Amino acid sequence: MGAVVVGYDQILQEVYRQADKRPELADTIELHCELLRAQAHAGVSPQRPALDGEEASARLQQGVPLLSPESLGVDGQTLAGLCDQIGFIVAERRPELAETLAGIRAWLDERRDQIGALAVEYLREGRVREGEGSGLDGKLLAFIFNNALRPFLRVQAQALAPWVDDSAWYRGRCPICGGEPDLAALERESGRRRLLCSRCDSEWTFQRIGCPFCGNDEPRRLAYYPSDDQVYRLNVCEQCRRYLKTIDLRQVAGERLLPAERILTVAMDVAALDAGYGEG
């Protein structure tokens, strides 16, 4: 069965527990914690599964994620409010982006009645073409939607996780929502690789060798760069020029929460982007 989605309180506690070890990231960590608190307080209620067990089994056997964008059923008013709040939080912490974010917030406010359709487009394509066509910063707009949709996706992930046979999926995208991974872990006992969904925080098992983004499994076109303490690795693919942060749980004592590690490893994102790896 699929892994249970970790609660917001647990994520925040784990981030703050380890934050002292990364004083250079204090401002970035606090920004992400504010976003987590906004998501936690958004008032998104627990959901019943969007489909039954028979439908779930059929979709997974066909290689289709359980949750289609149209079936998410977001409350438009809540989503619009959360988009605006996230834009405000980022602008407060990143004043150099305030003007750009003000434009995005104004554009979204004018389209509050269309917010559900914009969310479906983002979930389908990973971008909002209409916004980009209006001259908005596409990456910032996607960042806002990713964070605003997370609480809606998480409640569905919690409801749908029991339907997932973790040993039978082994695909590069999330079995719940179809999102891409943004972190991986090598399990302590088995060394198996587990992926974390960048959208709904679900976790699932994936093959140890291979790029989850393009499927490349040629060793000569794959590489990884370990941290000095061997706890972290930056896995890169020379075929698609994407990267994946990885934590080796065999090198640490105690449990680690992957949604917290996503935040605590932002320096690895910077290093990868600086080296020319990133989104395709």
Residue type, 115: I
**Three-state secondary structure along 183-220?**
EEEECCCCCCEEEEECCCCCEEEECCCCCCCCCCCCHH
Tell me what percent of the residues of the chain surpass a pLDDT of 70. 98
Q: What is the pLDDT of residues 21-50, one digit of tens each?
A: 889 999 999 999 999 999 999 988 877 776
Residue type, 40: A
Give me 266's structure tokens: 């932002």
Does 280 have pLDDT greater than 60?
no
Q: Over the chain, what is the mean pLDDT?
A: 93
Distance between CA atoms of residues 119 and 100, nearest Å? 20
* CATH class of this structure's domain 166-274: alpha beta
pTM: 0.95
Q: Where are the beta strands (DSSP E) in the chain?
A: 181-186, 193-197, 203-206, 222-226, 232-237, 243-248
Distance between CA atoms of residues 195 and 184, nearest Å? 4
User: Around Cβ 82, how many Cβ atoms within 10 Å?
Assistant: 28
| Residue whose tokens read 């370990």 | 226
Distance between CA atoms of residues 147 and 239, nearest Å? 29
Distance between CA atoms of residues 177 and 278, nearest Å? 21
Average pLDDT over residues 241-258: 95
193: confidence class by pLDDT, cuts 50, 70, 90: very high
Map out the domains of the chain as residue ranges. Answer: 42-163, 166-274
Tell me what percent of the residues of the chain surpass a pLDDT of 90. 81
Distance between CA atoms of residues 210 and 222, nearest Å? 8
